């Protein structure tokens, strides 16, 4: 089943990331970490569906997505970046993406953090943030999505890393990318699960690094 939903608000999160809130259909339910297929209700774009993760909670009276815009791709996100309040998106039913399976270390690259947003918001609402940790890699400080919110939820268990330009603030600088040595130095006893989400190459590199550190494949949680 598809739903044609009106945009209530659209705001900037970073220089190339938008937050979009939509009207929520009665009875529409999802769990933190789930996604849905989204299309733009405009001629030529209704069949161009793309998966996006809900960043709102099921208890919220709206649906929210945080979406990175790629203006040079001439695609769906470029068009989403041009939308305004009152425009419409077409959503399908929710489907499983990353599911919370207990305390652990979350490792995200760029916009790959989006499945973790609702999970952390939900844990905070329940008072169950516990010892969960987030290692969040971005090219520059300006790319960090919801930095202040993650700091508020996780405190010292939020580790933000930049890999292109030395930060002026409190981010760690790692020239290149997160590797085995970095993970070995920053992993702690924060649970048995390792949640990984980012570009495909990022996921492959993190998975290989964790396995080389002796982490069992059954402990790794990636998008299905």
| Gap between the Cα atoms of 48 and 77, Å rounded | 11
pLDDT of residue 224: 67
Residue 185 pLDDT > 90, yes or no? no
Q: Among candidates 163, 111, 108, which has minimal Cα distance to 134?
A: 108
Q: Among candidates 128, 121, 150, 145, which has minimal Cα distance to 59?
A: 121
Type and span of the H or E element at 105? strand 104-109
pLDDT of residue 121: 98
Q: Which residues on adjacent β-strands are paired with residue 161?
A: 137, 172
User: What whole-number percentage of the chain has pLDDT above 70?
Assistant: 97
Residue with tokens 């980012």: 198
pLDDT of residue 32: 96
pLDDT of residue 164: 85
pLDDT digits (tens, 9 = 90+) for 37-75: 999 999 999 999 999 999 999 999 999 999 999 887 778
Query: pLDDT-based confidence at 174, cuts 50/70/90?
Result: confident
pLDDT of residue 49: 96
pLDDT digits (tens, 9 = 90+) for 106-145: 999 999 999 999 999 999 999 999 999 999 999 999 999 9
Arithmetic mean of pLDDT, 31-38: 96
The tokens describing 76, both together, are 């769906």
Counting Cα atoms < 13 Å in the Cβ hemisphere of 134 gives 30
Neighbours of 22 (CB within 10 A): 21
Pair 118, 66: CB distance under 8 Å: no
Q: Among candidates 174, 172, 164, 175, which has minimal Cα distance to 140?
A: 164
Give, rounded to a whole angstrom, the gap between the first and last alpha carbons of the chain: 21
Which residues 6+ apart lie within 8 Å of 165 measured at CB? 139, 140, 141
Query: pLDDT-based confidence at 151, cuts 50/70/90?
Result: very high
Write down all domains in the chain, each with its CATH number in brackets.
3-91 (2.40.30.10), 104-221 (3.40.50.80)
Arithmetic mean of pLDDT, 4-9: 97
Arithmetic mean of pLDDT, 15-44: 96
Arithmetic mean of pLDDT, 66-87: 91
Q: What is the pTM of this model?
A: 0.93
Q: Residues 177, 183, 189, CA angle at the centre, nearest 5°?
A: 155
Query: pLDDT-based confidence at 86, cuts 50/70/90?
Result: very high
Q: Among candidates 124, 135, 133, which has minimal Cα distance to 209?
A: 135
Based on DSSP, count helices (H) and strands (E) in the chain, helices before strands: 5, 12
Q: Which residues on adjacent β-strands are paired with residue 191?
A: none
**How far, CA to CA in Å, does 80 sit from each of 69, 184, 218?**
7, 39, 37
Query: pLDDT-based confidence at 192, cuts 50/70/90?
Result: confident
Work out the mean pLDDT of the chain and round it to a whole number: 92
């Amino acid at each position: 089943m598809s739903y044609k939903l009106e945009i209530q608000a659209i705001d900037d999160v970073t220089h190339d990331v938008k937050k979009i809130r939509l009207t929520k259909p009665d009875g529409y339910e999802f769990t933190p970490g789930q996604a849905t297929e989204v299309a733009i209700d405009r001629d030529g774009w209704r069949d161009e569906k793309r998966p996006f993760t809900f960043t709102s909670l099921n208890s919220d009276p709206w649906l929210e997505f945080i979406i990175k815009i790629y203006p040079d791709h001439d695609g769906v996100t470029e068009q989403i970046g041009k939308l305004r309040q009152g425009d419409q998106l077409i959503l399908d039913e929710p489907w499983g993406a990353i599911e919370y399976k207990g305390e652990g270390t979350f490792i995200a690259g760029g916009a790959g953090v989006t499945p973790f947003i609702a999970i952390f918001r939900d844990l905070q609402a329940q008072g169950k943030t516990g010892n969960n940790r987030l290692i969040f890699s971005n090219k520059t400080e300006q790319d960090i999505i919801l930095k202040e919110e993650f700091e508020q939820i996780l405190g010292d268990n939020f580790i933000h890393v930049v890999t292109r330009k030395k930060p002026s603030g409190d981010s760690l600088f790692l020239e290149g990318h997160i590797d085995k040595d970095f993970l070995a130095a920053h992993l702690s006893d924060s649970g048995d699960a390792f949640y990984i989400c980012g570009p495909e190459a990022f996921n492959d590199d993190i998975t290989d690094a964790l396995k080389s550190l002796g982490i069992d494949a059954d402990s790794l949680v990636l998008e299905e």
